[in-house]
Amino acid sequence: EAQVTQNPRYLITVTGKKLTVTCSQNMNHEYMSWYRQDPGLGLRQIYYSMNVEVTDKGDVPEGYKVSRKEKRNFPLILESPSPNQTSLYFCASSFRQGIDTQYFGPGTRLTVL
């Protein structure tokens, strides 16, 4: 089944404790991205990647890191989480950036205390 998977689905952590949210897709997509969703603001793009070893900042990259060492994986890293990073996070992938339908993962609900 074609899909984007994220783990964990739910995470409660404390300020400053490094964490990683994994994202994997099995559709051989070139393009992957991370979004955060906050009430009233819709989804905002954090980082995106057009291919292996190619990443770029989105609208809200501060406090986040990503890597793309393999085509299928695109982890999101919070080196020192803060309460303002409490949000719902989505990973997405597509064949071509900006043109094709993006396939979204199921979301990760993160709470930083």
Partner 1 sequence: AQTVTQSQPEMSVQEAETVTLSCTYDTSENNYYLFWYKQPPSRQMILVIRQEAYKQQNATENRFSVNFQKAAKSFSLKISDSQLGDTAMYFCAFSAGNMLTFGGGTRLMVKP
> Whose structure tokens read 């400053």?
16
Q: How many residues belong to the site for partner 1 (CB under 8 A)?
A: 24
Q: How far is the CB of 92 from partner 1 (least distance, A)?
A: 8
Structure tokens at 24: 């994997």
**Residue from the set 45, 67, 73, 111 that interacts with partner 1 by CB under 8 A:** 45
The DSSP string of 15-32 is TT--EEEEEEESS--SEE
Query: Does 55 help bind partner 1 (rule: CB under 8 A)?
Result: no
Strand partners, 96: none
Site for partner 1 in 64-103 (CB under 8 A): 88, 90, 92, 97-99, 101-102
